[in-house]
Structure 1
């Protein structure tokens, strides 16, 4: 009986975690937190060549959501019955995520030619209203924000931590789940790393600029964020760096 139960447990886990990093992906940012309740993360950057994943440079520190981590909606499978991120829960989404474009206060930024970059103005919005048809989408108005929802969604300006940010494709449109969590980015950390976030991953400006300068959309860059125990368990299964 014990052997049967062990086999069923193995089979169940196998089905839940049947996934590998896409073969087309050859750039990966890895974030490892101590546990699900941690608001701190250790980050590292990897590139894949014929010899496999190779770490480029050393590790650096970052900050996570004020209430820790929870499974997010990315390209990975989440465990059956797992709690998933919700809007306003203060948690950083765990899993494997594609990376999107870059937004910033400056007219330009050092980046790969294929990376999308947009200089933020007062007419730029990022919608976090789970009831909106524009949920978790970037919009540019042809007028200054006037309606209440436009003003609420207006992207921050004159705020150093938000002056440079790269989109982490959690709950990505057009398949965004209403109230499933929005506006998740890499951006500059607040108060020199003393502040927790609302769900984003933050870091010192120098490291963020390093990432933005190096990621190449044609190499399908990914962000893997997991608690240490999950990372160790899933590393050989998901073929993680």
Structure 2
């Protein structure tokens, strides 16, 4: 049976009611390094984590809420090796194990699970378990350990052509190694995040250059207390 998995497992809630916030802050749009912090309400729950972002830095993505920004700044596009900046739902977790005891939905990344980055496919930016007629895709069961555990960042859910696909939080290839558009970190740090997340607390990812922190604080003033 053919299956297509939406990048988003839907939760019906008001964006600003998010209790769990993963905040990733980079020094600027061009760096491939950033710092991740995690908040439950107004309390930081994990120590700051060093993460890798896109080799070419950040570009504004398509999330669940726009941050007011300058129009001449880069946009996230397919193949640009930039990680998306903005505010995004955190979707489901995935990994190589059949099952994982988490408080968010989990999908087994078996040998057939693919994420489609073919901009001309109707399955663009979707998970599928077949490759018939799809010209470009990513195997979710890799030969390395980068997708041993991961989280889906719900970017470009409307499948806007060329605006980027298959964005994840995942295990880093090696220390200080940039990604082609995702956000990566040490396995132990990713596991801490996975075990902490709870779908009932409406988790989101906010990823921005630090000049946009004032805009983030307007939306989420509890973060400014830290």
Q: 1:204 to 1:97 in 2, by over 3 A?
A: same
**Does the 8 A contact of 1:128 with 1:183 survive in 2?**
yes
Residue 187 of structure 1 corresponds to 170
Q: 1:23 to 1:148 in 2, by over 3 A?
A: closer
Root mean square deviation, CA, Å:
1.9
**Does the 8 A contact of 2:121 with 2:134 survive in 1?**
no
Moved more, 155-164 or 88-97: 155-164
Per-residue deviation at 1:124? 1.1
- Calculate the TM-score normalised by the size of structure 1: 0.80
2:169 is the counterpart of 1:176:
no
- 1:199-218 to structure 2, matched below 5 A, reads 199-218=181-200
Moved more, 22-31 or 196-205: 22-31
Residue 70 of structure 1 corresponds to 59
- Calculate the TM-score normalised by the size of structure 2: 0.85
Which runs of 5 or more residues in structure 2 are unaligned?
Answer: 1-13
Secondary structure of the 2:24 match is strand
Structure number with greater Rg is 1
2:80 is the counterpart of 1:95:
no
Which runs of 5 or more residues in structure 1 are unaligned?
Answer: 1-20
More strand, by proportion: 2
- 1:1-241 to structure 2, matched below 5 A, reads 22-48=15-41, 53-78=42-67, 79=69, 81=71, 82-112=73-103, 115-141=104-130, 145=131, 147=132, 149=134, 152-172=137-157, 175-191=158-174, 193-231=175-213, 233-240=214-221, 241=223
Q: 1:189 to 1:230 in 2, by over 3 A?
A: same
**Does the 8 A contact of 2:34 with 2:52 survive in 1?**
yes
Once residues 163 and 141 of structure 2 are traced to their aligned partners in structure 1, the CA distance between those partners, rounded to angstroms, is 22
